Every structure is written in structure tokens, then in C-alpha cells.
Amino acid sequence: MSPSPHRENQKRGYVIPIGGAEERTGSMRVLRRFSRLCGGRKARIVIIPTASNLPDTGDRYIEIFLKIGVASAISLPISERADADRKEYIEQLEDATGIFITGGNQLRLSTILGGTLVAQKVRRLNAAGVHVAGTSAGAAIMPEHMIAGGSMGLSPQADGVNLAPGLGLTNAVIIDQHFSQRDRLGRLLTAVSYNPFMMGVGIDEDTAIFIAPDQVCEVEGSGSVTIIDPEHLSYSSMDRAKKNESLSLLDLKLHVLSKGCSFDIYERKPYPPKKTRSHK
């Protein structure tokens, strides 16, 4: 699933994966920056709480965004696939300047939303300039390929990750969340080994990357972002490894970025905070 095409005279919206457990009181740096990007006091946020089994998840985010000061925040209570094809939900999405996908279970999110009118609309709106953020499961589903599960630990292992189709807002990276807190380096390395075309992005809790239309992303929040670049991978044992066997991956490049650092996905180049390249 690739990003929807956009017109030459239009800029895509930002794609903002959040590592989960973002601050919802106090400074709320990630959520406030998302809200400013969507228009600040004029922002109209539509929340998709489908990944969560908790019935009040959408209402809690409505309260948070209204407290931040946006113009409006509504939640689409999509709990079954039929809900994701409802005309009124498509119409409500049309009015959004920002879309926020909550955390929960990413397989619940993908099995309910995948292939529906809501999923198609989110991709098309992002291509037309609407900003899309997702936290935890909502971050995992953003790429073309979604990490659906896997083992913990530092070492990559054969069969160490389970993949499923994602939403397709980006096809250049694969995303893992709660990254340092849940010891997920090994499974992200395994995911990258399946197809070294993709870069791996591991995002800590209360941390996000703001991926601009020109594919320059900047880190916001209290944690760090780990980027695995396999462009110069010279050897992988994935094709011959047995189940649960450790993998060999040679000549990978790894970057760790904290608040203010940026990374150019096209050029595969990191920048420190005070030397961040301006967007094209």
C-alpha cells in the first residue's frame, strides 16, 4: 500500500508517528506541536480510536485537544468494519485539518480499517495536505508494512517479527514504538532484514517524528528515535537462518536522534539541532 498520489500544486500533509505514552497533561509538547501544525486555535481534529478497546478513549482525546485550544475535536467511534464505510464519518473527515489515530492493538486497527472507505480517505486527505498523527498502534500502522508483533531483545532473530499490511502513508520506513522501554531493537533489525529497501525507525515513548512533505523529519519529545539505515548492507543471513537463530547483518548504519535533531529520508542524512537543514 503506497501513499496516495498528490497534485503538483499541492503539498502533502505531515505524517507524525508517536512512540506512545505521550504527555497528556503539563507541557504536552508532542500534542501541542501537532495541534499548532493543524492550525492552532483554528484546528479541526478528527480522532480515530479504533485500536483501543476502552470505550472512553475518543472522549479523553477530545478533552485533551480542546484543553490545548483547538477549534474542534470529534471522535469517530469505529468499532466494526461496517462503521468504517459510513458516509457521515467520511464527511466528518473531509472537514479535518488534522487526523489523530490512537493507540491500542494494531491488528485490531488494521483488520477493522484495512481496505475501507475511511482508510482510503485518510490516505487521500494526507496527500491533499491534511496532517495525520498516530500514537503507539496508530504509529505502527502508518507505513506500507506494519510491525504486528515479535520478540523482545537486542539481537535480530529469524522469525523475530510479524508483519502485516499497514495504512500506506509512507513506503520508505517501517516503524516500531515504545522502542527503548520495551527493548525492541532486535525485532526492528529483523524487520529491516526482510527487505533492506526500508529504513527502520524506532520511537521511544513521549517522542515523535514530524515527517514533512519533503521527507525531512524532526524529533520532538523527551525520548530518542533510533534509525536503522540498511542502504550499504553487505551481507544478511536471513535467507538461510533457522527459526529463532540469531542473524548476521553487516554494514548497517545506526543513528540515535533526540529532540531537535532531524533526518532527511531521501538523502539518508542526519542533522544536529542547530544545523537542521531547512525544508525544501
Separate counts of helices (H) and strands (E) for the chain: 7, 17
Please give the backbone phi and psi of residue 142, each rounded to the nearest 5 degrees, phi first: -65, -40
30-52 pLDDT, tens digit each = 999 999 999 999 999 999 999 99
Annotation marks residue 63 as catalytic: no
Q: Collapse the DSSP code of 77 into the 3-class scheme (helix H, G, I; strand E, B; otherwise coil) and give the result.
A: coil
In a domain? residue 112: yes
In a domain? residue 133: yes
Q: Would you give the distance in Å from CA 134 to the centre of its chain?
A: 6
* Confidence at 274, pLDDT banded by 50, 70, 90: confident
Question: Which of 110, 136, 236, 262 is labelled catalytic?
Answer: 136
Parallel, antiparallel, or unpaired for β 249-250 and 253-257?
unpaired
Q: Which residue has 522469525 as its cell numbers?
A: 159
In a domain? residue 193: yes
Contacts of 98 (CB under 8 A, 6+ apart): 34, 35, 37, 38, 39, 43, 44, 45, 46, 130, 131, 132, 133
In a domain? residue 170: yes
Look up residue 94 and give its amino acid.
Answer: E
CA distance 90 to 117: 7
In a domain? residue 211: yes
Q: What is the CATH number of the domain that holds 20?
A: 3.40.50.880
pLDDT value of residue 280: 45
CA distance 114 to 123: 12
**How many domains does the structure of the chain reveal?**
1
Beta bridge partners of 135: 18
Question: Which of 22, 144, 205, 218 is labelled catalytic?
Answer: 205
In a domain? residue 270: no
Annotation marks residue 75 as catalytic: no
In a domain? residue 60: yes
Q: Which residue has 519529545 as its cell numbers?
A: 221
Q: State which residues form the domain around 181.
A: 15-262
In a domain? residue 10: no
Per-residue pLDDT for 212 more than 80?
yes
60-90 pLDDT, tens digit each = 999 999 999 999 999 999 999 999 999 999 9
Question: Which of 178, 220, 224, 236 is labelled catalytic?
Answer: 178
Per-residue pLDDT for 278 more than 80?
no
Annotation marks residue 232 as catalytic: no
Q: Which residue has 468499532 as its cell numbers?
A: 79
